[in-house]
Amino acid sequence: MKIVLTVDRSRVVRAVVERHLERFACLSIEATTADEAIVAAREHRPALMLVEAGVHAVAARSGDAAYLAVPVVLLATDHPASVRLCDDASVVASLRKPFDQSSFDRAVRGVLGTPQVAAAANVHAAQGASR
C-alpha cells in the first residue's frame, strides 16, 4: 500500500485532502510543519507528498535527501512565491486552493494510479494533526 504524506498548516485543507484520498488505495499520514514533514519523509518513505507551498519552501531548503526524493503535489495559492515553487524539481503537479475532486485526481494519478470506484480503501494515521 502506498503512503501519502499531507503537509498543510490548515486542518481544513488536510481534511479535504483526506476526503479526496478516500478513492485511492493508500495510507494517509499528516504533518503541519516543515520539520514534521522531514521527519515523516524519513520515517515513512511516502510515495507522494501533498505539501502547502510555504511549508515546502522551508522543507526543501533543508536539503534533506529523504524529503527531496519524494514527488510533491504543491498545494498552492496565486501568490508569486507559490508559482515559482512549481518549477522545483520534486514538484510533479500543483493544485490551486481550493481544489475539487477532479483536479485532485488528475494531480495525483501519475503516482497513485486510477482512483478506486469503491471508497474507503484509505487508512488515516495522523501525525501532528491534532493542531
Q: Which structural domains are found in the chain, ordered by start? A: 2-125 (3.40.50.2300)
Q: What is the pLDDT of residue 88?
A: 66
Q: What is the pLDDT of residue 77?
A: 81
Q: Check pLDDT > 50 for residue 103.
A: yes
* Four-CA torsion 43, 113, 70, 54, nearest 10 degrees: -100
The DSSP secondary structure of 68-79, one letter per residue, reads HTS-EEEEE-SS
Q: What is the pLDDT of residue 117?
A: 63
Q: 26-30, 73-77, 112-116, 124-128: which has the minimum mean pLDDT?
A: 124-128
pLDDT band at 119 (very low <50, low <70, confident <90, very high): very low
* DSSP-assigned beta bridge partners for residue 26: 2
- Helices 34-44 and 53-61 pack at an angle, to 10 degrees, of 70
Q: What is the pLDDT of residue 54?
A: 86
